[in-house]
Chains A and B, each alone.
Chain A
Amino acid sequence: MEQLIEILNSVKPGVDFKKEQNLIEDHILDSLTIVMLVAQLNDEFDIEITPLDIVPENFKSAEAIYKMIERLEEE
């Protein structure tokens, strides 16, 4: 989780990702930042995030992203 927050902050500085629950709807993450994020996540966690995984539910909060990572790591 800490690692994730770090990555999030590198992509989008100045946001308290532990608190934000509506990253997509509040336009904190847009398609550009998401792709930047995915590039890092794929690399750091050795997973493969596909276009299908890119839905608001998976990216609305740090927690949701973390859950997605866990799920993908299992596959």
Chain B
Amino acid sequence: MSYTGYLYLFVFLELSYLFYIAVPLKYRWIELLVVSLVFYFFSSKWLVLLMVLCGFIVYFAGLFLNKINDGFSMARKALPKEERKDFKTIINWQKRAVVTVAVLSIFGILIYLKYYNFLLGSLNGLLKPLGLSASFKHLKLVLPLGISYYTLMAASYIIDVYRGKYRAETNPFKIILFLCFFPHITEGPIGRYDLLGPQLIEGHRASYKNFTYGTQLILWGLFKKIVIADRAASMVSTVFKNYTDYSGVVVLLAALMFTVQIYAEFSGCIDVVTGSAQLFGISLQSNFERPFFSKSINEFWRRWHITLGAWLRDYVFYAVSLSKPFMNLSKWAKKHFNEYYAAMVPALFALFFVWFGNGFWHGAGEKYILYGLYYYFIMALGMIMEPLFVKFFSATGLKRDSGFMNCLKTVRTIVLVVIGMLMFRATSMKAFYAMFGSIFKGFSFEPIINGAIFKLGTDAHDYLIIAVGVVILLIVGLLKERGHFIRAEVASMNLALRWVIYLALILSIIIFGAYGTGYGQVDPIYAQF
């Protein structure tokens, strides 16, 4: 069920909300669980059981960890001091075994369903030159809704319990609700149990404020998705599908349009989702913070798809970089390089895993892996060059933080991101190389002047709407950068002004939205990951 479709917006959401406020406070979380399961069942039928299974795996693992911890603290007191340390080591091994089994089994399901064909395909490719013709059959595997998201959430839960951040939950259904809560199941944000769990379980009273803020956010998200993103979609798909027919400014425009599309769409859907959750008084973690104002790639990824970045940071980056082998590597490096590089070594290695994971998470294919490594390369280069930059700026006396430099940095970041997006959307790496190269071959503004760009499924009217939409996004973004909380400010305007804004927003979605006859339904890009 699409978050921007009629069924969700006009039926499902209303019914879920009405049932929610009709049930006594204490049982409201059960209502959420039921409607979330219905939502899930609508999309994936009995594959819902895989999600439930995942919930039970981490539930039992959590209980097991609770038991080990309790046993440990009881037994510890009885032991003489010198034996305590050994005992702790044994306990830690037990805990590690439990969490490893749990994490491997939930990721096993994900990897089997999502990557089986890709991995076996690669294996076939490797075996062939060796003369082994063990061709594996491709399986037609159907992915359960949101498996890439709920697996990460389940893993974060069990790893947090293992790390001792909080005690395991004793009610499996609360974990399942956390995993399949209908607003975030399809496209995230990837929630954390300590932040979201208590909110989900606690019954929230209907509040006018939540209603207003939630509805505002849903409308704003719809505007981004239906008016801007879906309108850009047809031109983008024409050019990327028949990439050999286009070059120069057309390809460049397609890359820009795709960047606009994916941002408007993904952040728009997240707004709808976050707004939906807010209706129920639940606040999801923010997933976007105006990423296109970033001054570096590092910062971009702190502000784009934030919860994925945060997940990889907490459970891959820190786990790898702070592990003993890498810390020892750092010590070793200290003897051979200067301090800066020595300290950098663990981070540099750990980052590789982060970006490999980021690419791999997006999809089974070399394109996505190289997409991740593209960003790794940029970041690693930045880190290695940093001392040089410092020297350069102190030698020339240029100010690194002047307004002009910051502007330049933002532009540089956007250029790098657009190149990344071109790779992300290209049908294959071969297509990416061809498209990227074709931008520079015979670049001219001829296609704009002779109107060729208006014949790609997006006419002049459409470009106008997209342009106006982008300007609105920019203005809203700038206001937010300056610390405005626009929804609250609109809500506190006088009634007439406020209503004019709301009505204008609703009507512009209905009139300028790219939906209905003549527009194919555009499936959200991030729902497929």
Please report A residues at the B interface, Cβ cutoff 8 Å.
10-11, 13, 27, 30-32, 35-40, 42-43, 49-52, 54
Q: Is the CB of A35 within 8 A of B390?
A: no
Q: Does B57 contact A (CB under 8 A)?
A: no
State which of A10, A32, A52, A54 has its C-beta within 8 Å of the C-beta of B298: A32
Given A35-B346, A36-B344, A42-B327: A51 and B298 within 8 A (CB)?
no
Q: Is the CB of B298 within 8 A of A35?
A: no
What A residues does B327 contact at CB under 8 A?
A: 39, 42-43
Measured between alpha carbons, how far is A10 from B383 in the docked complex, in Å? 14
Q: Which residue of B lies closest to A43 (CB)?
A: B331
- Minimal beta-carbon separation of B346 from chain A (angstroms): 5
Measured between alpha carbons, how far is A37 from B346 in the docked complex, in Å? 11
Q: Which residue of B lies closest to A31 (CB)?
A: B313
> What is the interface of chain B mostly: helix, strand, loop, or mixed?
helix
Q: Which residue of A lies closest to B326 (CB)?
A: A39
What B residues does A30 contact at CB under 8 A?
A: 298, 302
Q: Does B503 contact A (CB under 8 A)?
A: no
What B residues does A52 contact at CB under 8 A?
A: 163-165
- Most chain A Cβ neighbours within 10 Å, of B164, B327, B345: B327
What A residues does B344 contact at CB under 8 A?
A: 36
Q: Does B321 contact A (CB under 8 A)?
A: yes
Q: Does B343 contact A (CB under 8 A)?
A: yes
- Most chain B Cβ neighbours within 10 Å, of A13, A32, A42, A50: A32
Question: Of B112-120, B334-342, B455-463, which binds chain A?
Answer: B334-342
- Minimal beta-carbon separation of B299 from chain A (angstroms): 7
Measured between alpha carbons, how far is A51 from B298 in the docked complex, in Å? 20
- Minimal beta-carbon separation of A26 from chain B (angstroms): 13
What A residues does B298 contact at CB under 8 A?
A: 30, 32
Q: Does B252 contact A (CB under 8 A)?
A: no
The interface bits of chain B over 344-373 (1 if a CB of A lies within 8 angstroms of the residue's CB, else 0) are 111100110000000000000000000000
Q: Which 7 A-B pairs have the closest CB atoms?
A: A36-B343, A51-B318, A39-B330, A35-B347, A35-B321, A52-B163, A39-B343
Given A50-B322, A52-B165: A13 and B390 within 8 A (CB)?
yes
State which of A10, A32, A43, A51 has its C-beta within 8 Å of the C-beta of B322: A51
- Most chain A Cβ neighbours within 10 Å, of B318, B319, B350: B318
What A residues does B165 contact at CB under 8 A?
A: 52
Measured between alpha carbons, how far is A38 from B321 in the docked complex, in Å? 9
